[in-house]
């Protein structure tokens, strides 16, 4: 019995010694390992050579010093002119030495190798991370307790990582031949790229700065205009992960957690093709229709005790910023926001598609909450006759012959003009495709001399109103018939006549069939003067259309930088009591909405002060109440 106990103890001791040797333990990373025990090697005379500045060899250097008191020299792998590599080297990573190169052949990013090659000791992984793992394993298992010798298996030690596929192709092309390309403005695609390269393929993959013909790419693209969708698709020889500003990160997560794992379940060898394309709807949000919007506006228009007040966004402010500025000033979110698609707002022609995607998503989100959106566009003067690049909507167009040329296909003026209106049409199309109706107020204040499309040109020359009507109908036809924009409520918006300074508000009226709403732009100059000479608002109401104040602001005499002074001379409650209620109660006018101009121009209710009192007065409809009204028509 004693002999049996003694024999068992000896076996346990021998097994423990075997595990302590480099070749006896299991592989790390949960991978496959191999190695047979070899003889010891004395460290005397060795130096450490690291292959990259990113690899820190100090842990190995310190381990040797702590155990033996000997400090090994650490060298970079670069060899200068007239120099030669040393005979005894511990090679960490890809040093460019023949021994490192041979060990790296066929290795994947999750693999690592520890081996002897003549007098060289090779410690290398398929990536920096794997090399560090190899070095740590080497310290723990191959370096002797006294730090003076090594015990490395005769045939080395190899760890193979676990990979989803033995062979993965995309459209018949090996996935390892693809490059990564970030097509939008977001940089977080690198997380997905690294994951795909290292964990799926086990290979380093190049990131491209541009797309080239004849090459293949995995593309991460945040430029979709569909707010609540994303796609993963094989297209034109590439694998595209396409989402909007709202969904592209969800698309990346889906690609990593669902798409690739589901493909891996089909086999270790797989070819991703168009048959694997997916389109995912992330959310189902019901947005009011154009007819429902009109009905809601009509309800408010006929209610003399409830009104909508909105705010125009700044340059290049998108929906979220406008909403938050309004909320910060009033404590409530607006039922209406406006924006200019031209030089006084988003300036779409100079923005990339990533910006478009973000702006579209924010407007779609706002509409889904019950918010109403109104757009104008200060189109660039197609003649180039403008005083400043930041106000390229100014200047004159010219007399009758130039207006005729503008609408003549094949002319330079027409080509320039079409480029601009097409840019806006594409943006409006994207909102249509997301189910969002828009109050569209193009070529406003046309009865004055403010912009190139106005009826009064240089030296006070006034064209016949038919020239503007032809321009309006030209744009109307192009948008509704050619571009299919059936999501627009067209709003005709002249400027207040200001006595006899400008033409009558209906001088350029295109006709009932070419607009749905009418509105007035009015900047208050002091005393209430809406019903003075010209009766501007009353004339617009005579059309029988829903009538609004589509642009309201204050003259310099009613604005002040000092908040206390501003509150005294004109505040948001003055807007309610001395303007809106006076319109309704004294003049008998109706109004669905009033849109103030931008915060930068100090025309918002926040700039006026007492915005919170206005929004809590019981007269003004906020975003929550607007949604309830719109929902009642669904």
**pLDDT for residue 20:** 36
- Residue 10 counted as domain residue: no
For a pLDDT cut of 70, what percent of the chain falls above it? Answer: 93
* Length of the chain in terms of residues written: 634
Phi, psi of 399 (to 5 degrees): -85, -170
251 and 332 in a single domain? The answer is no
Judged against a pLDDT cut of 70, whether residue 449 lies above it is answered with yes
250 and 299 in a single domain? The answer is no
Interatomic CA distance for residues 19 and 13, integer angstroms: 10
List the CATH number of the domain containing 342: 3.20.20.80
Tell me the Ramachandran region of residue 239: left when phi exceeds 0, alpha when psi lies from -120 to 50, beta otherwise: beta
Instruction: Name the band, by pLDDT with cuts 50, 70 and 90, for residue 500.
Output: low
pLDDT: is 164 or 489 the higher one? 489
**pLDDT for residue 506:** 97
Other Cβ atoms closer than 10 A to 608: 25
Measured at the CA of 358, the angle between CA 183 and CA 622, to 5 degrees, comes to: 170
- Residue 373 counted as domain residue: yes
- Residue 197 counted as domain residue: yes
- Residue 358 counted as domain residue: yes
Please give the distance of CA 478 from its chain centroid, rounded to a whole number: 29
Phi, psi of 437 (to 5 degrees): -80, 150
Instruction: Name the band, by pLDDT with cuts 50, 70 and 90, for residue 23.
Output: very low
Interatomic CA distance for residues 505 and 522, integer angstroms: 12
3-state secondary structure 414-459: HHHHHHHHHHHHHHHHHHHHCCCCEEECCCCCCCCCCCCCCCECHH
Q: Half-sphere exposure of residue 185, counting CA atoms within 13 Å on the CB side? A: 12
- Count Cβ atoms within 10 A of the Cβ of residue 529 and give its class: 0-12 exposed, 13-18 middle, 19 or more buried: middle
Interatomic CA distance for residues 78 and 361, integer angstroms: 52
**Within 211-318, where are the H helices?**
248-254, 260-264, 290-301
Residue 127 · residue 86 · CB < 8 Å: no
What is the token pair recorded at 474? 């030209």
User: What is the sign, positive or negative, of the torsion defined by CA atoms of 617, 619, 623, 628?
Assistant: positive
Give, as one character, the DSSP assignment of residue 167.
E
**pLDDT for residue 22:** 47
Range of the domain at 369: 290-631
Tell me the Ramachandran region of residue 202: left when phi exceeds 0, alpha when psi lies from -120 to 50, beta otherwise: left
pLDDT tens-digit series, residues 140-180: 999 999 988 888 888 889 998 888 999 999 999 999 999 99
Residue 48 · residue 131 · CB < 8 Å: no
Interatomic CA distance for residues 298 and 440, integer angstroms: 17
Best-predicted range by mean pLDDT among 13-22, 120-129, 507-516, 592-601?
507-516
Judged against a pLDDT cut of 90, whether residue 189 lies above it is answered with no
Bridge partners (DSSP) of residue 196 are none
Interatomic CA distance for residues 373 and 338, integer angstroms: 6
Residue-by-residue DSSP string for 70-108: ----EEES---TT----SSEEEES--SSHHHHHHHTT--
Measured at the CA of 57, the angle between CA 51 and CA 58, to 5 degrees, comes to: 155
Lowest mean per-residue pLDDT among 54-68, 71-85, 325-339, 600-614:
71-85
**pLDDT for residue 10:** 37
Other Cβ atoms closer than 10 A to 543: 17
354 and 482 in a single domain? The answer is yes
Q: Where are the beta strands (DSSP E) in 252-327?
A: 269-272, 278-281, 307-312
- Residue 140 counted as domain residue: yes
**Within 544-608, where are the H helices?**
563-569, 572-574, 581-585, 605-608
pLDDT: is 525 or 354 the higher one? 354
Mean of the pLDDT values across residues 539-561? 95
Mean of the pLDDT values across residues 427-446? 98
Residue 60 · residue 176 · CB < 8 Å: no
184 and 144 in a single domain? The answer is no
603 and 501 in a single domain? The answer is yes
Judged against a pLDDT cut of 80, whether residue 7 lies above it is answered with no
- Residue 177 counted as domain residue: yes
Interatomic CA distance for residues 611 and 519, integer angstroms: 23
Which of 532, 578, 533, 537 lies closest to 554, judged by CA? 578
Please say which residue of 103, 137, 160 terminates a domain: 160
Angle between helices 623-631 and 290-301 (to 10 degrees): 110
Please say which residue of 246, 281, 316 terminates a domain: 281
400 and 506 in a single domain? The answer is yes
**pLDDT for residue 390:** 78
pLDDT tens-digit series, residues 300-336: 999 999 999 999 999 888 899 999 999 999 999 999 9
Residue with tokens 């002897």: 116
Which of 586, 589, 593 lies closest to 619, judged by CA? 593
**pLDDT for residue 531:** 78
**pLDDT for residue 21:** 39
Residue 629 · residue 584 · CB < 8 Å: no
Please give the distance of CA 584 from its chain centroid, rounded to a whole number: 43
583 and 455 in a single domain? The answer is yes
**Count of structural domains, the chain:** 3
Judged against a pLDDT cut of 50, whether residue 4 lies above it is answered with no
Mean of the pLDDT values across residues 399-417? 97
pLDDT tens-digit series, residues 256-293: 999 999 999 999 999 999 999 999 999 999 999 999 99
pLDDT: is 44 or 401 the higher one? 401
Please give the distance of CA 508 from its chain centroid, rounded to a whole number: 40
- H/E stretch holding 593 reads strand 593-596
What is the token pair recorded at 186? 């977001």
pLDDT: is 29 or 131 the higher one? 131
What 3-state class would DSSP assign to 500? coil
List the CATH number of the domain containing 184: 3.30.379.10
What is the token pair recorded at 63? 């381990």
Number of helices (H), then strands (E), in the chain:
20, 27
Interatomic CA distance for residues 473 and 324, integer angstroms: 37
Other Cβ atoms closer than 10 A to 409: 7
- Residue 2 counted as domain residue: no
333 and 470 in a single domain? The answer is yes
230 and 345 in a single domain? The answer is no
Residue-by-residue DSSP string for 618-632: SSEEBHHHHHHHHHT
Contacts of 559 (CB under 8 A, 6+ apart): 566, 570, 602, 603, 607
Judged against a pLDDT cut of 60, whether residue 562 lies above it is answered with yes
Interatomic CA distance for residues 528 and 186, integer angstroms: 50
What 3-state class would DSSP assign to 44? coil
235 and 354 in a single domain? The answer is no
145 and 171 in a single domain? The answer is no
**pLDDT for residue 1:** 41
Please say which residue of 139, 160, 181 terminates a domain: 160
Phi, psi of 186 (to 5 degrees): -80, 140
Which of 427, 301, 295 lies closest to 364, judged by CA? 427
- Residue 347 counted as domain residue: yes
Interatomic CA distance for residues 343 and 380, integer angstroms: 8
Please give the distance of CA 395 from its chain centroid, rounded to a whole number: 35
Residue 259 · residue 507 · CB < 8 Å: no
478 and 559 in a single domain? The answer is yes
Instruction: Name the band, by pLDDT with cuts 50, 70 and 90, for residue 40.
Output: low
Give, as one character, the DSSP assignment of residue 282.
-
Interatomic CA distance for residues 140 and 131, integer angstroms: 14
What 3-state class would DSSP assign to 491? strand
**pLDDT for residue 633:** 97
User: What is the sign, positive or negative, of the torsion defined by CA atoms of 612, 521, 422, 439?
Assistant: positive
């Amino acid at each position: 019995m004693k002999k049996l106990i003694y024999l068992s103890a000896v076996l346990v001791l021998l097994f423990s010694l075997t595990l302590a040797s480099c070749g006896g333990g299991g592989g790390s990373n949960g991978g496959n390992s191999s190695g047979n025990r070899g003889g010891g090697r004395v460290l005397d005379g060795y130096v450490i050579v690291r292959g990259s500045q990113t690899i820190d060899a100090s842990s190995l250097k310190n381990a040797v010093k702590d155990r033996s008191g000997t400090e090994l020299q650490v060298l970079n792998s670069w060899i200068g002119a007239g120099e030669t590599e040393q005979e005894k080297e511990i090679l960490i990573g890809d040093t460019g030495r023949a021994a490192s190169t041979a060990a790296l052949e066929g290795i994947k990013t999750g693999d690592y190798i520890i081996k002897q090659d003549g007098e060289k000791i090779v410690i290398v992984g398929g990536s920096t991370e794997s090399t560090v793992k190899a070095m740590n394993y080497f310290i723990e298992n191959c370096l002797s307790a006294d730090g003076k010798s090594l015990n490395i298996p005769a045939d080395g030690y190899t760890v193979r990582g676990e990979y989803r596929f033995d062979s993965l192709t995309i459209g018949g092309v090996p996935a390892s031949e693809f490059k990564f390309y970030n097509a939008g403005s977001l940089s977080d695609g690198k997380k997905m790229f690294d994951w795909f390269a290292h964990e799926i393929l086990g290979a380093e993959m190049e990131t491209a700065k541009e797309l080239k013909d004849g090459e293949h790419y995995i593309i991460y693209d945040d430029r979709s205009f569909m707010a609540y969708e994303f796609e993963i698709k094989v297209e034109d020889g590439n694998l595209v992960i396409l989402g909007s500003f709202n969904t592209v990160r969800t698309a990346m997560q889906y690609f990593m957690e669902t798409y690739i794992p589901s493909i891996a379940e089909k086999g270790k060898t797989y070819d991703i093709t168009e048959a694997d394309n997916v389109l995912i709807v992330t959310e189902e949000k019901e947005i009011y229709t154009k007819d429902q919007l009109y009905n809601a506006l009509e309800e408010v228009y006929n209610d003399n005790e409830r009104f909508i007040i909105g705010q125009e966004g700044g340059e290049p402010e998108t929906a979220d910023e406008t909403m938050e500025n309004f909320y910060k000033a009033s404590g409530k979110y607006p039922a209406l926001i406006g924006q200019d698609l031209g030089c006084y707002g988003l300036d779409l022609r100079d923005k990339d598609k990533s910006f478009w995607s973000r702006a579209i998503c924010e407007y779609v989100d706002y509409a889904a909450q019950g918010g109403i959106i109104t757009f104008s566009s200060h189109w660039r003067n197609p003649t180039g006759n403008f005083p400043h690049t930041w106000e390229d909507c100014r200047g004159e167009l010219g007399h009758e012959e130039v207006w005729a040329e503008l609408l003549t296909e094949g002319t330079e003026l027409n080509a320039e003009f079409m480029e601009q209106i097409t840019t806006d049409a594409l943006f409006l199309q994207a909102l249509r495709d997301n189910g969002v109706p828009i109050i569209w107020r193009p070529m406003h204040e046309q009865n004055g001399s403010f912009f190139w499309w106005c009826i009064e040109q240089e030296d006070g020359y006034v064209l016949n109103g038919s020239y503007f009507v032809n321009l309006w109908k030209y744009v109307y036809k192009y948008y509704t018939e050619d571009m299919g924009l059936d999501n627009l409520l067209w709003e005709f918006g002249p400027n207040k006549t200001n006595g006899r300074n400008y033409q009558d508000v209906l001088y350029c009226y295109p006709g009932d069939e070419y607009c749905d709403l009418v509105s007035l732009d009015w900047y208050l100059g002091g005393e209430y003067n809406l019903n003075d000479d010209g009766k501007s608002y009353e004339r617009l109401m005579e059309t029988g259309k829903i009538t609004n104040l589509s642009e309201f602001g204050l003259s310099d005499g009613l604005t002040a930088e000092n908040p206390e002074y501003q509150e005294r001379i004109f505040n948001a409650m003055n807007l309610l009591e001395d303007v809106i209620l006076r319109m309704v109660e004294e003049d008998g006018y109706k109004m669905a909405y009033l849109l103030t101009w931008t915060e930068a121009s100090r025309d918002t209710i926040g700039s006026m002060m007492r915005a919170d009192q206005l929004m809590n007065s019981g007269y003004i409809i906020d975003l929550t109440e607007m949604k309830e009204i719109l929902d009642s028509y669904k």
